[in-house]
Amino acid sequence: MAPLVVRVPSALRAVSPQLAERFGQRYPGVDVVVLPPSPSGMLAQAVLEGEPADVIVSASRAYLILLAEVGFADPPVTIAGNRLVGIVHPRLEDRPEGLAGMLRPGLRLVLSQPVTDPCGQYTREAFERAGLLAQLREKGQRGELAFHRGSLGLIEAVASGEADGAVLYASEAAHSGLVTVPLEPPVDLADRIAFCAAVLTRAREREVAEAFVSFLLDREGQMLLGQAGFIPVVREEPGSDGRSD
């Protein structure tokens, strides 16, 4: 049997090995290969260019809808939610409050680029919701704003002292060892952020690929995603059968 090749965004890098291991235990003989993570837009582009994959996970439904519309993937399903938070280095004595606090003069801010990374796109939307786009531009004009390729680089930038703070997914902040700055709804975009998965039409073992996506939605998959800081989409009730609401 051919290996199951899965492409995931950077936000899933920590939990992907656990998901692959648990799925492999459930389906002995299936070798799950999780390729190095990339921003979701780059993942979709790789699929369009013919790079190997059986399942793709994206931090934005839009990229998977695009793949489905051109016949490269099945319709996407939502597997988890998330929310945005700020992070700052523990050495920062005067901790910012909320998204506006991340824009205060002197605080070096780093964000994910919004061209191919949904984290950057969601972050820009958060500043827009808060009415802070003008202040964000001013921070850039002061030389206090930088952008990274993806959310993976944000934690490294703050931890190394390259930046004082960043805005990223709560699931990544939870395991960063840095100080979290909560963002209030709806600025945290918990109502908008959706991680989705789709089986590619060229999947070599379609039944296995479909089983993997189903695993992400079942009780165990949702438990692992929840423990990793994602917002589960399947709510378990006493005596429930694990189906989504």
At 234 the pLDDT is 67
CA distance 64 to 68: 6
Q: How many helices (H) and strands (E) does the chain have?
A: 10, 11
CA separation, residue 25 to residues 18, 29, 211 (Å) = 11, 9, 13
The 10s digit of each residue's pLDDT in 164-190 is 999 999 999 998 999 999 999 999 999
CA distance 80 to 244: 12
At 152 the pLDDT is 84
At 242 the pLDDT is 38
For tokens 């003989």, name the residue.
29
Tokens of 148: 């990274």
Q: Which amino acid is at 14?
A: A
96-135 core/surface letters (b: 16 or more CB in 10 A; e: else) = beebebbbbeebbbbbbbbebbbbbbbbbbbbeebebeeb
CA distance 237 to 15: 24
Q: Is the peptide bond preceding residue 28 cis, with omega within 30 degrees of 0?
A: no
222 φ/ψ angles, rounded to the nearest 5 degrees: -65, -35
The 10s digit of each residue's pLDDT in 201-243 is 999 999 999 999 999 999 999 999 999 999 999 654 444 443 3
At 235 the pLDDT is 55
Q: What is the largest CA-CA distance in the chain?
A: 57
SS3 171: helix
Q: Which amino acid is at 36?
A: P
The 10s digit of each residue's pLDDT in 82-130 is 999 999 999 998 999 999 999 999 999 999 999 999 999 999 999 999 9
- The percentage of the chain sitting over the pLDDT mark of 90, rounded to a whole number, equals 92
What the chain holds in terms of domains, given with CATH numbers, is: 4-81+193-232 (3.40.190.10), 84-181 (3.40.190.10)
Which has more pLDDT, 241 or 37?
Answer: 37
CA distance 93 to 22: 42
- Spatial contact of 68 and 162, defined as CB atoms under 8 Å apart: no
The 10s digit of each residue's pLDDT in 111-122 is 999 999 999 999
